[in-house]
Amino acid sequence: MDSKSSKNQKPVGQNPKQDQLDQFRVQNTGKQMTTNEGRVIPNDEQTLKAGVRGPSLHEDYWFLEKMSHFNHEEIPERVVHARGYGAYGEFECYQSMSHVTRAGFLQEPGKKTPLICRFSTVQGPKGSYDTARDLRCLGVKLYTDEGNYDLTTIAMPVLIIQDPMKFPDSMHAYQNKQDDGIPTASGAHDRFWDFVANNPESIHMVTWIMSDRGIIRSYRMMESWSINTYLFINGEGVATFVRFVWKPVLGVHSLLQEEALKIGGLDPDFHRKDLREAIDRGAYPEYELGVQLIPMEDEFKYDFDVLDPAKFWPEELIPVQIIGKMTLNRNVDNYFAELEQVAFNPANVVPGIGFSNDPVLQGRLLAYRDTQQYRLGSANYEQLPVNRPLCPFHNNTRRGVMRMRIDVDQVNYHNNSLANNTPYTAPPEEEIFIHYPRKVEGHIIRGRSPSFNDFFSQPRIFWNSLTPVEKQHTIEGFSYQLGKVKSESVRQQNVDLLVNVDKELANIIADNIGVNRPSGTNVTVSTKFSSLSQESTPRYAYSLKVGVLIGNGFNSSEVTSALRALQEAGTFVVIISEKLGTVTGDDGTKLKVDETFLTFSPYLLDSIYVVGGSHRNQAKFNYEVTYFTQVAYKHYKPIGIASTGQSFMQATDDNNLVGVVFAANNPNFGEDFVTAIAQQRFWNRK
Question: Using one digit for the tens of pLDDT, what is the confidence trace for 506-528?
Answer: 999 999 999 999 997 788 889 99
Q: Work out the average pLDDT over 475-481.
A: 98
Judged against a pLDDT cut of 80, whether residue 622 lies above it is answered with: yes
Q: Work out the average pLDDT over 488-493.
A: 97
Q: What is the pLDDT of residues 138-164, one digit of tens each?
A: 999 999 999 999 999 999 999 999 999
Diameter of the chain measured on Cα atoms: 91
Judged against a pLDDT cut of 90, whether residue 446 lies above it is answered with: no
Please report which confidence band the pLDDT of residue 339 belongs to, taking 50, 70 and 90 as the band edges.
very high
Whose CA is closest to 211, among 156, 290, 150, 152? 156
**If DSSP codes are grouped into helix, strand and coil, which group holds residue 163?**
coil
Q: Work out the average pLDDT over 23-31.
A: 85
Range name among 125-134, 289-298, 339-348, 424-433 with the lowest pLDDT average: 424-433
DSSP class of residue 646? G
Q: Where are the beta strands (DSSP E) in 145-207?
A: 147-154
How far is Cα 144 from Cα 103, in angstroms, rounded to an integer?
9
- Does 638 map to a domain? yes
List the beta bridge partners of residue 609: 548, 640
Q: What is the pTM of this model?
A: 0.93
pLDDT at residue number 609: 98
Q: Work out the average pLDDT over 78-95.
A: 95
| DSSP states of 197-231 | HH-GGGHHHHHHHHSGGGSBS-GGG--EE--S-EE
List the beta bridge partners of residue 581: 593
pLDDT at residue number 327: 98
How far is Cα 330 from Cα 399, in angstroms, rounded to an integer?
34
pLDDT at residue number 97: 98
Q: What is the pLDDT of residues 238-293, one digit of tens each?
A: 999 999 999 999 999 999 999 999 999 999 999 999 999 999 999 999 999 999 99
- Does 554 map to a domain? yes
DSSP class of residue 462? H
- Does 173 map to a domain? no
Q: Please tell me which residue, 56 or 515, carries the higher pLDDT value.
A: 515
CATH code (residue 653): 3.40.50.880
Q: Please tell me which residue, 352 or 56, carries the higher pLDDT value.
A: 352
- Does 356 map to a domain? no
Q: Provide the residue range defining the domain that includes 651.
A: 545-679
Judged against a pLDDT cut of 60, whether residue 3 lies above it is answered with: no
**How many domains are there within the chain?**
1
Measure Cα distances from 19 to 23, 343, 435 in Å: 7, 20, 33
Q: Please tell me which residue, 340 or 421, carries the higher pLDDT value.
A: 340
Whose CA is closest to 462, among 310, 600, 269, 294? 310
- Does 655 map to a domain? yes
In this structure, the number of other CB atoms found within 10 A of the CB of residue 40 comes to 8
The answer for 680, left when phi > 0, alpha when psi is -120 to 50, beta otherwise, is left
How far is Cα 203 from Cα 455, in angstroms, rounded to an integer?
8
Judged against a pLDDT cut of 90, whether residue 625 lies above it is answered with: yes
- Does 587 map to a domain? yes
- Does 597 map to a domain? yes
DSSP class of residue 570? T
Judged against a pLDDT cut of 70, whether residue 8 lies above it is answered with: no
pLDDT at residue number 429: 65
Burial class (CB in 10 A: 0-12, 13-18, 19+), 603: buried
Q: Work out the average pLDDT over 330-339.
A: 96
Strands 84-93 and 581-584: unpaired
In what order do the strands lie in the sheet containing 639-641?
595-596, 572-577, 545-550, 607-612, 639-641, 660-662
**If DSSP codes are grouped into helix, strand and coil, which group holds residue 611?**
strand
Mean pLDDT of the chain: 92
Q: Please tell me which residue, 177 or 549, carries the higher pLDDT value.
A: 549
Judged against a pLDDT cut of 80, whether residue 434 lies above it is answered with: no
pLDDT at residue number 563: 98
- Does 300 map to a domain? no
What type of residue is 535?
E
